[in-house]
Structure 1
């Protein structure tokens, strides 16, 4: 660490002033008592005396106190310098106690925040590894169980063999699904997944997703519809396939966690001249307030029972967030437990010239 010494003169100035005033007053009293000088001579003596005493006191105090404090304060800076990331070591060494106290307090606060952040990350890491283990373990054990049964003798029965092989295949498909989703998130985070931008009608895209998920919604008697029955085409620019994946994941979630005989509505709102807002809302079970900040974490599930009856990789919302952020857009969530949830995200409108061409 390069040492830069920041001096402070407050203490020496005040202390020298006190000493010189007291010494001058005492000196004038003695001189006046012994020598009985004239007033002008006494006044001249007082000015010369106070100046000499003040200058001497200031120099001695500044040097001695500065050296005394500096040696001790330097030890604090030297110990702190072991933490190379500290912003404190980049500051000049100061003997001003108020400044030093403020710097040390700020340093301690920053370190406390860093420690708390590391603890949160460590907790998240443990939880993440536990969730990954759970997600992979379930299909792996399923595949292992069916194959072990076949090896132990069930291979001879053609019906059982075909049935168990199909179930094992489903387990492998689920594993591939999870790994592909993880690979996509990793690429999105690293910026390795290239987005193929084009101009398309987002209303038409949403309708395609409705058609795709119609049977899934009918099983739970959930109606999929636009908020506005007379919605007009709305052209945007982005990666069409990825945006479809976002809309599909959000609608699938609304179906999974929606109430039977419920409703999922999608609205396309002109937010500004350059942006639109796509809003997907449902009247399902909703999300408790404390769970909302963590919704977009990998494998995070609101249901802590560990149930996987609804299927999915647990990566849907994490993928949604990364795809939207890769488009340099924002995603929002509002939810009230027992009433329903609303997910919304922005997209950039296609230019008017390009719309005209379309």
Structure 2
């Protein structure tokens, strides 16, 4: 590590001046008793003493401070701080204080980040365990009942096997979403950009989810009739998955006999924004910041009865950000929610 002294001239000059003035005062007092001491001698001696004192004090002060400062740098370097290892040593206390304070702030932020990640890891493991445990125990329960003697009853056997199959389907759904979210988080998105009509994609999603929406009396609709196609440049399959996840979410948490309305608006710089709005129960403000976390559910008790893997919004966020686009959430508790995302528009 290179040495870079920031000279402590001010300290050395003041100290040398005090010593010189004190010596000059003593010599001036001695002149009354020893007449052979001239003022010229006092002047020359004081000047020489000042210069000698200045250099000695400057050198000693730097060496004294440097040894202690170097020890601080060496101790800090043990913590693998690249900012300290790459910087030259300075004996300036103000500079050193700023660097140590910055180092302490960075380490505090790093520690807090690690704590958040550890808490997130524990919560994630707990959520995965719960999500997998519920369908597993369901399947196990039905199979054990059949093995314990219910196999002889054809009606009961068929009923329990169908329920076990639903549990297996949910397990497969969760594992597939986990596999996808893992790939998305490591950047393995493999986007296949093409030009396509976003209106057509949304209509396809409506057709696929029409029966699911009918069960709750929810109407899937556009805000207006889009006669002309609206062409965008993105991965069609991934964007259809985004729309599907958001519409499914609006159905799942929407009010019975309500609506899910989709609108498409032009933005600046060849962008459009797709808005998916429902008139459901809405989301409390405290929950909005965590909506896109894996397995996070606003209603911890009742949400799981609606099914799903709990990864839908997290997948949506990764896909949209993989396109270098933005996703937004607006919600008023008791009135409904609106999810929107941007896409690049093309001709």
Aligned match of 1:23: 22
* Greater mean deviation of Cα atoms: 149-158 or 245-254: 149-158
Aligned match of 1:252: 248
Kept in 1: contact 2:16–2:51 (CA 8 A): no
Q: Is 1:187 equivalent to 2:186 in the alignment? A: no
Q: What displacement does 1:208 show?
A: 1.7
Q: Point out where structure 1 has 5 or more consecutive residues left out of the alignment.
A: 353-358
Q: How does 1:114-133 map to 2 (within 5 A)?
A: 114-133=110-129
* Greater mean deviation of Cα atoms: 77-86 or 195-204: 77-86
* Greater mean deviation of Cα atoms: 239-248 or 20-29: 20-29
* Greater mean deviation of Cα atoms: 335-344 or 320-329: 335-344
Q: Which residue, out of 310, 321, 324, partners 1:325?
A: 321
C-alpha separation in 1, matches of 2:9 and 2:256: 76
Kept in 2: contact 1:94–1:100 (CA 8 A): yes
C-alpha separation in 2, matches of 1:201 and 1:9: 71
Please report the TM-score for the alignment, with normalisation by the length of structure 2: 0.91
Q: How does 1:88-99 map to 2 (within 5 A)?
A: 88-99=84-95
Q: What displacement does 1:177 show?
A: 0.6
* Greater mean deviation of Cα atoms: 168-177 or 267-276: 267-276
Q: Is 1:8 equivalent to 2:7 in the alignment? A: yes
Q: Point out where structure 2 has 5 or more consecutive residues left out of the alignment.
A: none
Aligned match of 2:231: 235
Q: Is 1:296 equivalent to 2:292 in the alignment? A: yes
Please report the TM-score for the alignment, with normalisation by the length of structure 1: 0.89
C-alpha separation in 2, matches of 1:287 and 1:51: 81
Residues 115-156 of structure 1, C-alpha deviations (whole Å, 9 max, x = no match):
111000000000000000000000110111111111111112
Describe the SS at the equivalent of 2:281.
Answer: coil
C-alpha separation in 2, matches of 1:155 and 1:85: 67
Q: Is 1:110 equivalent to 2:110 in the alignment? A: no
Q: How does 1:199-348 map to 2 (within 5 A)?
A: 199-230=195-226, 232-305=228-301, 307-348=303-344
Q: Which residue, out of 173, 176, 180, partners 1:177?
A: 173
Q: Is 1:138 equivalent to 2:134 in the alignment? A: yes
Q: What displacement does 1:37 show?
A: 9.3
Aligned match of 2:77: 81
Aligned match of 1:158: 154
C-alpha separation in 1, matches of 2:312 and 2:158: 31
Distance 1:85 1:172, change over 3 A: farther
Describe the SS at the equivalent of 1:328.
Answer: coil
Describe the SS at the equivalent of 1:341.
Answer: strand
Describe the SS at the equivalent of 1:191.
Answer: coil
Kept in 2: contact 1:88–1:104 (CA 8 A): no
Kept in 1: contact 2:20–2:47 (CA 8 A): no
C-alpha separation in 2, matches of 1:100 and 1:334: 47
C-alpha separation in 2, matches of 1:53 and 1:231: 96
Kept in 2: contact 1:80–1:86 (CA 8 A): no
Kept in 1: contact 2:28–2:42 (CA 8 A): no
Q: Is 1:56 equivalent to 2:52 in the alignment? A: yes
C-alpha separation in 1, matches of 2:205 and 2:322: 21
Give the RMSD, CA atoms, in angstroms. Answer: 2.3
Kept in 2: contact 1:199–1:238 (CA 8 A): yes
Residues 213-234 of structure 1, C-alpha deviations (whole Å, 9 max, x = no match):
2222222222222223456421
Kept in 1: contact 2:139–2:168 (CA 8 A): yes
Describe the SS at the equivalent of 1:94.
Answer: coil
